[in-house]
Amino acid sequence: MQLSDINKVGNKTIINLNKLGIYNIDDLVTYYPYRFEIIKRSDMNTIKIGDKIIIDGVIETSPNVYYYNRRKNVMSFRINIESRIIVISIYNRAFLKNKLNIGSTTTVRGKYISLNKIVATDISLGALSDESKVEVIYHESSKINSKEINNYINETLESYCAKDYIPEYLRKKYGFISKIEALKEIHKPTSSNKLKQSINMLKYEELFLFMLKINRLRISRNKVDGLKRSIDKRLVDEFINTLPFKLTEDQLKSVDDIYNDLTSNKRMNRLIEGDVGSGKTIVAFISLYINHLSGYQGVLMAPTEVLANQHYNNIKKFMNINIEILTGSTKSKDKKDILKRLKNKEIDILIGTHSLFSDDVIYNNLGLVITDEQHRFGVNQRASLKNKGITPDILYLSATPIPRTYALTIYGDMDISIINTVPNGKKEIITILKKNSDIKDVLTMMLEELKKKHQIYVIAPLAEDSDSSDLESVNALSDKMNKALGKVANIGIMCGKMDTNDKDNVMNKFKNKEIDILVSTTVIEVGVDVENATMIVIFDAERFGLSTLHQLRGRVGRNTLQSYCILVSDKDTERLNIMVNTNNGFKISEEDFKLRGSGDLFGVKQSGDMNFKLANIKRDFKLLLKAKEDSLEYLNSNDYNSDIINILDNSYNLD
Ligand code: ADP
Ligand code: MG
């Protein structure tokens, strides 16, 4: 069956359905309502002014229509409800006038606005049925309304063949109804009890399939032999002793975890989770060094060129081996040379962006792949490294602090090292919330920092749509900054649309203190590290998610200087105050979690790993844990149904 087989669905409607993300009937029947409204006749004896009501009554007078403003009208008439006369008014329904005959019954929905008066939002002919009814409400568009969506779905479900993915024995264990029953119930509820059961079952199915993927990944990883290496621990310690600072305990613990992984014959698949500024980069560098000691090549992949360049310039300070950088803007002549040397093992470590994945990049003996800011890459991309048959160890760095219990589950295919402590001597960043009208205060604070020869980031408001308007937003703000502070400060700009050379130039100038104030978009959100920058001013801060704000704030406070984050906003004070009150990323992620659910926070939506339609990682965490156990048991039972496995996305295969 196809969308076009549905009654009244033609090409136009299909386009409109596509806009809602519905491309086939499977999409359609899993386009779930986001809200259920219980409809029950209001009791006229207990009703209070201001209440929303739904009621039926007999029409007493024929409607009067009053036209105004050319196309607008308001109609009013009286109805008799249990011997009480109520005046009904409704806007712009003059076309119903002739159907509202004296003596017939009508159902009215609206608000009880004053004694014996209802302003209706909806009227329909006929009486209200006696039982209470549940109405389903979908996200609609200007072209398709909730009712139409519901009609299409209900028609489809009459002949829809629903696949049950939950194995029979689990179905029995939980007393689940069948999938088709559950789908029918959720789109056309018959009782609140059965509706609850259905939602629960559909959520469980989503979570079960997800955990099945994760657990299957874990199992298949354990089957693959890792590289066998022998590495003298003393050489690692010696290297650590050459670093300009003392590693924190958590950093040392992470290095230990990695050393143990690399020297075991199990393949490493580890996630390092740590708050902004906790010092994950150096752990990555040490890992690359350990990998090099055992004779293998290593790569470090960053989500942006700015970050790749920074890593490249940094790592060269710490070790004197053959290190190269490869990004989208590497000149083709240089690239050719790099590829040749890479193949001949004349390069030990390659730093870069997505380019490290392109088909023509062939390693001689790749032993370690590190992905910085892990959440920015999809699983597919992570999987496509060409490597002449070797299965490299894998390390991810993630700056999205997810509470440990959740991390262990949703990243269940990985081992996790957590860096909780921030390096010694760092001062807490002071965060201040300011109104737009207090811009003078903000400028004064900026001036104070400039006097101390410190540098400042200024983040421009988020443009509403395209990147080019991002540039406008940055330019407009930089003009303002020039007017206010141009005499005492050099101002530079940075935005995603600029070409890479320009970006590098600006970044280098900022690092070399030729630029004092960098006006930027969120391109500097991840990883950028300039120690002398001690203030970040974020305009229209309410437009950003808390995790983004926390990441942005992490651009300052990178050494022992006192740093400041100034949020400029007139709105959403309560949420922004969370930023004022804590510097702890794990706490902020908890709060963000509460406010926005899971998707955005983890950034996993982008990688498509967790597109739950009904389930929510936090709200349904208990169910997720059940699904985790059940899926493991199922996979271990050895008689699992290959149909279920087939639908698991094969992009999850890391080899
Ligand atoms: P993130 O975890 O956000 O990626 P970085 O790795 O960029 O953080 O580290 C932040 C800053 O802290 C860098 O300037 C780094 O050199 C410094 N740093 C890292 N570890 C230590 C340490 N143990 N002691 C002092 N400074 C450190
Ligand atoms: Mg980093």
18: Cβ contacts below 8 Å, ≥ 6 apart = none
Could you tell me if the CB of 281 is within 6 A of ligand 1?
A: yes
Using the atom order of ligand 1, give the atom closest to the CA of residue 419. Answer: 2
418 CA from centroid of ligand 2 (Å) = 14
Could you tell me if the CB of 279 is within 6 A of ligand 1?
A: yes
496 CA from centroid of ligand 2 (Å) = 19
Burial of 268 (0-12, 13-18, 19+ CB in 10 A): buried
Could you tell me if the CB of 585 is within 6 A of ligand 1?
A: no
Bigger pLDDT: 134 or 487? 487
Q: Indicate if the pLDDT at residue 143 is higher than 60.
A: yes
Distance in angstroms between the alpha carbons of the first and the last residue of the chain? 36
Q: Judge contact between 535 and 561, C-beta under 8 A.
A: no
41-130 and 430-582: identical CATH topology: no
Per-residue model confidence (pLDDT) at position 463: 66
Q: Which ligand places an atom closest to the C-alpha of 274?
A: 1
397 CA from centroid of ligand 2 (Å) = 8
Q: Indicate if the pLDDT at residue 264 is higher than 60.
A: yes
**Which CATH code of 3.40.50.10440, 1.10.10.10, 3.40.190.10, 3.40.50.300 fits the domain covering 430-582?**
3.40.50.300
Instruction: Find the helix or strand (DSSP H, E) in which 120 lies.
Output: strand 117-125
If pLDDT is split at 50, 70 and 90, which confidence band does 10 have? Answer: very high
246 CA from centroid of ligand 1 (Å) = 11
Average of pLDDT values for 622-637? Answer: 91
252 CA from centroid of ligand 2 (Å) = 17
Look at residue 16 and give its three-state secondary structure. helix
245 CA from centroid of ligand 1 (Å) = 9
Taking only the tens place, the pLDDT of each residue in 96-140 is: 999 999 999 999 999 999 999 999 998 988 888 766 678 899 988
Average of pLDDT values for 457-480? Answer: 79
Residue nearest to atom 1 of ligand 1 (CA): 277
Instruction: Find the helix or strand (DSSP H, E) in which 195 lies.
Output: helix 192-223
Residue ranges near ligand 2 (ion) with Cβ within 5 Å = 527
If pLDDT is split at 50, 70 and 90, which confidence band does 647 have? Answer: low
Q: Indicate if the pLDDT at residue 651 is higher than 80.
A: no
Per-residue model confidence (pLDDT) at position 350: 97
Nearest to 337 by CA among 351, 326, 349, 321: 326
511: Cβ contacts below 8 Å, ≥ 6 apart = 530
Q: Whole-angstrom Cα distance, residue 37 to residue 437?
A: 43
Which pair of structure tokens corresponds to residue 348? 């030990």
Q: Indicate if the pLDDT at residue 553 is higher than 90.
A: yes
Q: At the top level of CATH, which class does the domain 266-419 belong to?
A: alpha beta
Which pair of structure tokens corresponds to residue 541? 């801060």
Per-residue model confidence (pLDDT) at position 523: 80
Of 249-258, 316-325, 413-422, the least confident: 413-422
Taking only the tens place, the pLDDT of each residue in 56-71 is: 999 999 999 999 988 8
Look at residue 330 and give its three-state secondary structure. coil
The residue type of 562 is Q
Which pair of structure tokens corresponds to residue 508? 């280098």
Could you tell me if the CB of 511 is within 6 A of ligand 1?
A: no
Could you tell me if the CB of 530 is within 6 A of ligand 1?
A: no
282 CA from centroid of ligand 1 (Å) = 7
Nearest to 586 by CA among 404, 372, 398, 374: 404
Q: Which CATH fold would you assign to the domain 41-130?
A: OB fold (Dihydrolipoamide Acetyltransferase, E2P) (2.40.50)
Mean pLDDT of the chain: 86
Between β-strands 105-114 and 117-125, what pairing exists: parallel, antiparallel or unpaired? antiparallel
Could you tell me if the CB of 551 is within 6 A of ligand 1?
A: no
Could you tell me if the CB of 274 is within 6 A of ligand 1?
A: yes
483: Cβ contacts below 8 Å, ≥ 6 apart = none
- Determine the residue of 275, 304, 529 to mutate for testing ligand 1's pocket, defined as the one with the most ligand atoms within 8 A of the Cβ atom: 529
Taking only the tens place, the pLDDT of each residue in 279-292 is: 999 999 999 999 99
Could you tell me if the CB of 529 is within 6 A of ligand 1?
A: yes
DSSP string, 476-517: HHHHHHHHHHTTT--EEEE-TTS-HHHHHHHHHHHHTTS-SE
Which pair of structure tokens corresponds to residue 373? 């800011």
Average of pLDDT values for 527-547? Answer: 89
Average of pLDDT values for 212-225? Answer: 79
If pLDDT is split at 50, 70 and 90, which confidence band does 75 have? Answer: very high
607 CA from centroid of ligand 1 (Å) = 27
Could you tell me if the CB of 252 is within 6 A of ligand 1?
A: no
Average of pLDDT values for 235-255? Answer: 95
Could you tell me if the CB of 417 is within 6 A of ligand 1?
A: no
Per-residue model confidence (pLDDT) at position 516: 97
Structural domain boundaries of the chain?
41-130, 266-419, 430-582
480: Cβ contacts below 8 Å, ≥ 6 apart = none
Average of pLDDT values for 539-550? Answer: 88
Per-residue model confidence (pLDDT) at position 379: 44
DSSP structure class, residue 453: T
Average of pLDDT values for 463-476? Answer: 71
If pLDDT is split at 50, 70 and 90, which confidence band does 455 have? Answer: very high
Bigger pLDDT: 611 or 590? 590
Residue count (the chain)? 655
Bigger pLDDT: 351 or 470? 351
DSSP structure class, residue 266: B
101 CA from centroid of ligand 1 (Å) = 78
Could you tell me if the CB of 221 is within 6 A of ligand 1?
A: no
Residue nearest to atom 18 of ligand 1 (CA): 279
Average of pLDDT values for 154-174? Answer: 93
Nearest to 392 by CA among 400, 383, 401: 383
Instruction: Find the helix or strand (DSSP H, E) in which 519 lies.
Output: strand 517-520
Q: Whole-angstrom Cα distance, residue 630 to residue 626?
A: 6
Give, in order, the Cα–Cα distances in Å from 139 to each of 44, 202, 227, 255, 393. Answer: 32, 19, 50, 48, 44
Q: Whole-angstrom Cα distance, residue 551 to residue 554?
A: 5
115: Cβ contacts below 8 Å, ≥ 6 apart = 49
